[in-house]
Amino acid sequence: MVSVYDVHHSKLIAAVAKELKEKVEAPKFTVFAKTGKMKERSPQDIDWYYNRLAAVFRKFYVKGTITTNVLTILYGGKKNYGIEPEHFCKGSGAIARHCVQDLEKLGYLKKTDKGRTITQAGRTYLDKVAYTIIKSEKK
Q: What are phi and psi of 43, to 5 degrees?
A: -60, 145
Q: 130 with 7: CB under 8 angstroms?
A: yes
Condensed to tens digits (0 to 9), the pLDDT of residues 111-136 reads 999 999 999 999 999 999 999 999 99
Which class is 4-138 in CATH?
A: mainly alpha
pLDDT value of residue 89:
94
Give me the residue spans of the domains in the chain. Answer: 4-138
Residue 59 has pLDDT above 80, yes or no: yes
pLDDT band at 42 (very low <50, low <70, confident <90, very high): confident
Residues 6+ apart with CB under 8 A from 125: 108
Nearest Cα neighbor of 69 from 93, 89, 88, 87 is 93
At 110, which helix (H) or strand (E)? strand 109-112
Condensed to tens digits (0 to 9), the pLDDT of residues 3-28 reads 999 999 999 999 999 999 999 999 99
